[in-house]
Amino acid sequence: MMENSRRSFLKIAGVTAAGLGLKPVTDVLASGGHQTKSSPIGDVSKGKDVLTAKRWAMVIDVKKMAHDGTVHKCIEACHKLHNVPKMTNKRHEIKWIWEEEFHHAFPGKHHEHIAEAIEHAPFLVLCNHCENPPCVRACPTKATFQREDGIVLMDFHRCIGCRFCMAACPYGSRSFNFRDPRPFIEETQENFPTRMKGVVEKCNFCAERLAVGKQPACVEASDGALIFGDLDDENSDVRKVLKSDYVIRRKPGLGTGPQIYYKV
């Protein structure tokens, strides 16, 4: 008796599972391949002031950067705006943009007789928003992804905290929330999300500011030392600088295509 009822249970369970599995398949077929999923928050369209580009990039004018206090202003502007916490334990440090010496920013390029101006100049380093980002290649959930305009973004809700992207980044641009960051945020800005423990974060090229027509925070605070714009637009400021001045990029030989250019 047990045999029969177990068997019939399995039969019914199997048919049910097949039936349930049929719906998504018929949905796709019925829609003719066009996904017409409606968004739960209604239609999302671009704002009227949004800044668009085919390829965002930034030029850092190192000589202008060396002016007193500019570096500090850029870093503070970014970290304050994005609720980047000031962790007390250096191991748990979170930084989106920070200052390095030349031989740390460009480890392959250093030599003994480097120009004094370069040797002591502050170099701002941040995520390079690479054309060919190895972090995006590595991420198993697409929690870090490249937007059409080139910006490499993070979805803090999808990130499983595996930190594979941190291993993949050749520039050390990424930080991990080793503990809840919220107690360590000096002054929480309500218009930008705070993150939870266990997720990775990094510079987002101020995508939220671009969306409302503003320049990135560090660019605004830099007094002209940082130039931001669309590489695809011949008349953009970045293209003008690149046309007239020689620039270097970090670890160009790796093929990542970094989009932060340093005018030395």
Partner 1 sequence: MLERALNGNKNYWAWLMVLMSIIGVAVVFYLYQLWFGLGVTGMSRDVSWGFYIAQFTFLVGVAASAVMLVLPYYLHNYKAFGKITVLGEFVAIAAVTMCLLFILADLGQPQRMLNVIFYATPHSMLFWDMIVLNGYLFLNVIVGWNALSAESKGVPPPKWIKPFIYISIPWAVSIHTVTAFLYCGLPGRGFWLTAVLAPRFLASAFAAGPALLILLCLLLRKLTRFDAGKEAIQMLSKIATYAIIINVFFFFCEVFVACYSQIPEHMDHLTYLFFGLHGKGALVPFMWLSMILMFTGIFMLLIPKVRTNESSLAVACVAIFIGTWIDKGLGMISGGFVPNPLHHVNEYIPTIPEIMITIGVYAIGMLVLTVLYKMAISVKEEAAGLS
Q: Please tell me the count of residues contacting partner 1 according to CB under 8 A.
A: 51
Could you give the C-alpha distances from 148 to 62, 131, 144, 145, 153, in angstroms and in order?
A: 29, 10, 13, 10, 11
DSSP letter string over 5-42? HHHHHHHHHHHHHHHHHHHHHHHHHHTTT---PPPTT-
Verify binding: residue 164, partner 1, rule CB under 8 A: yes
Which residues between 189 and 228 bind partner 1 (CB under 8 A)?
196-200
Which positions ≥6 away from 245 have C-beta within 8 Å?
263
Q: What x-and-dash track marks residues 102-121 binding partner 1 by CB under 8 A?
A: -xxx-xx-------------
Judged by CB under 8 A, which of 5, 38, 45, 89 binds partner 1?
A: 89
Q: What x-and-dash track marks residues 42-81 binding partner 1 by CB under 8 A?
A: ----------------------------------------
Beta bridge partners of 57: 229
Helix (H, G, I), strand (E, B), or coil: what is residue 176?
strand
Which residues between 8 and 37 bind partner 1 (CB under 8 A)?
none
- Cβ proximity to partner 1, 120 vs 158, nearer residue: 158
Exposed / middle / buried, residue 253 (Cβ in 10 Å: 0-12, 13-18, 19+): exposed
- Minimum Å gap between C-beta 256 and partner 1 is 7
Cα–Cα distance for residue pair 26/23, rounded to 1 Å = 5
Verify binding: residue 86, partner 1, rule CB under 8 A: no
- Cβ proximity to partner 1, 199 vs 242, nearer residue: 199
Residue type at 236 in one-letter notation: S
Judged by CB under 8 A, which of 10, 12, 115, 254 binds partner 1?
A: 254
- Minimum Å gap between C-beta 158 and partner 1 is 6
Q: Report the alpha-carbon angle 101-177-219, nearest 5.
A: 45
Contact residues: partner 1, CB under 8 A = 89-95, 100, 103-105, 107-108, 125, 134, 137-143, 158-164, 166-172, 175-180, 196-200, 251, 254-256
